Amino acid sequence: MERREFIKQGFGSLAGMILVTNVLEAYSTGAMAAINTYLLSDNSNKSHPGIPHPAPGELFIPPLIDPNKINGVRNFALNIQESSHTFFEGISTKTYGISSSYLGPTLYMRRGDDIAITYTNTLAEPTTMHGHGMHVPAAMDGGPHQIIQPGRSWRASYRVNQKACTNWYHPHLMGKTAEHVYKGLAGLIYIEDEESIRLDLPNKYAVNDIPLVIQDRVFDTSGQLDYSPTTTQIRQGYMGNTFLVNGVISPYFNAEASLLRMRILNGSNARVYRFSFSDQRDFHIIAGDNSFLPKPVRVREVRLSPGERVEIVVDLKGDLGNSFSLMDLSSGENLLTLRVNKRANSSASLLKQLTFTLKFPHFANAVRTRRFDLGMANMHMTINGKRMDLNRIDEYVPLNELEIWEIRNTMNMNHNFHIHATHFTIIERNGSSANVSPHESAYKDVIFMPPNSTVKLLVKMTDYRDRNNAYMYHCHILEHEDDGMMGQFVVT
- What are the residues binding ligand C2O (CB under 6 A)? 130, 132, 170, 172, 307, 418, 420, 472, 474, 476
Selection from Cu ion, ligand C2O, none that 477 binds (CB < 5 to 8 A by kind) is Cu ion
Helix, strand, coil abundance in the chain, percent, nearest 5? 15, 40, 45
Beta-bridged to residue 451, according to DSSP, are none
Binders of Cu ion in range 122-141 (CB under 5 A): 132
Selection from Cu ion, ligand C2O, none that 307 binds (CB < 5 to 8 A by kind) is ligand C2O
Minimum CB distance to ligand C2O smaller for 132 or for 423: 132
* Cβ at position 23, least distance to ligand C2O in Å: 40
* Cβ at position 467, least distance to ligand C2O in Å: 20
DSSP state, 63? P
**What does the alpha-carbon distance between residue 85 and residue 103 come to, in Å, rounded to a whole number?**
10
* Cβ at position 415, least distance to Cu ion in Å: 3
* Cβ at position 422, least distance to ligand C2O in Å: 12
Minimum CB distance to Cu ion smaller for 407 or for 477: 477
Is 439 within 8 Å of 294 (Cβ atoms)?
no
* Cβ at position 219, least distance to Cu ion in Å: 24
* Cβ at position 390, least distance to ligand C2O in Å: 14
* Cβ at position 307, least distance to ligand C2O in Å: 5
**What does the alpha-carbon distance between residue 266 and residue 101 come to, in Å, rounded to a whole number?**
20
Contact call for residue 420 and Cu ion (CB under 5 A) = yes
Selection from Cu ion, ligand C2O, none that 415 binds (CB < 5 to 8 A by kind) is Cu ion
Contact call for residue 476 and Cu ion (CB under 5 A) = no
Selection from ligand C2O, Cu ion, none that 235 binds (CB < 5 to 8 A by kind) is none
Neighbours of 188 (CB within 10 A): 25
Contact call for residue 180 and Cu ion (CB under 5 A) = no
Instruction: Give residue number: closest CB to ligand C2O.
Output: 132
Minimum CB distance to ligand C2O smaller for 269 or for 441: 269
DSSP state, 432? B
* Cβ at position 131, least distance to Cu ion in Å: 7
Helix H or strand E segment including 371? strand 368-377
* Cβ at position 97, least distance to Cu ion in Å: 20
Neighbours of 339 (CB within 10 A): 16
Among 34, 477, 486, 491, indicate the residue that binds Cu ion (CB under 5 A).
477
Pick left, alpha or beta for residue 345 (phi over 0 → left; psi -120 to 50 → alpha; otherwise beta).
Answer: alpha
Residue partners of 219: CB distance under 8 A and separation at least 6: 50, 51, 52, 87, 88, 93, 225, 226, 242
Minimum CB distance to ligand C2O smaller for 261 or for 420: 420
Contact call for residue 53 and Cu ion (CB under 5 A) = no
* Cβ at position 186, least distance to Cu ion in Å: 12
Among 480, 487, 488, 490, indicate the residue that binds Cu ion (CB under 5 A).
480
**What does the alpha-carbon distance between residue 433 and residue 53 come to, in Å, rounded to a whole number?**
46
Q: How far is CA 193 from CA 108, 117, 219, 223, 300, in A?
A: 11, 19, 40, 42, 28
CA–chain centroid gap for 406, Å, is 24
Selection from ligand C2O, Cu ion, none that 288 binds (CB < 5 to 8 A by kind) is none
Selection from ligand C2O, Cu ion, none that 48 binds (CB < 5 to 8 A by kind) is none
Residue partners of 36: CB distance under 8 A and separation at least 6: none
Selection from ligand C2O, Cu ion, none that 172 binds (CB < 5 to 8 A by kind) is ligand C2O
3-state secondary structure of 402: coil
Selection from Cu ion, ligand C2O, none that 474 binds (CB < 5 to 8 A by kind) is ligand C2O
* Torsion, Cα of 292, 294, 296, 301 (10° steps): -80
Instruction: Report which of 51, 56, 12 is spatially closest to residue 34, judged by C-alpha positions.
Output: 51
Contact call for residue 415 and Cu ion (CB under 5 A) = yes
Contact call for residue 475 and Cu ion (CB under 5 A) = yes
**What does the alpha-carbon distance between residue 50 and residue 43 come to, in Å, rounded to a whole number?**
12
Residue partners of 122: CB distance under 8 A and separation at least 6: 79, 80, 81, 82, 150, 151
Minimum CB distance to ligand C2O smaller for 415 or for 420: 420
Minimum CB distance to ligand C2O smaller for 85 or for 476: 476
Neighbours of 225 (CB within 10 A): 22
Selection from ligand C2O, Cu ion, none that 54 binds (CB < 5 to 8 A by kind) is none
Which residues form the interface with Cu ion (CB under 5 A)? 132, 415, 420, 475, 477, 480
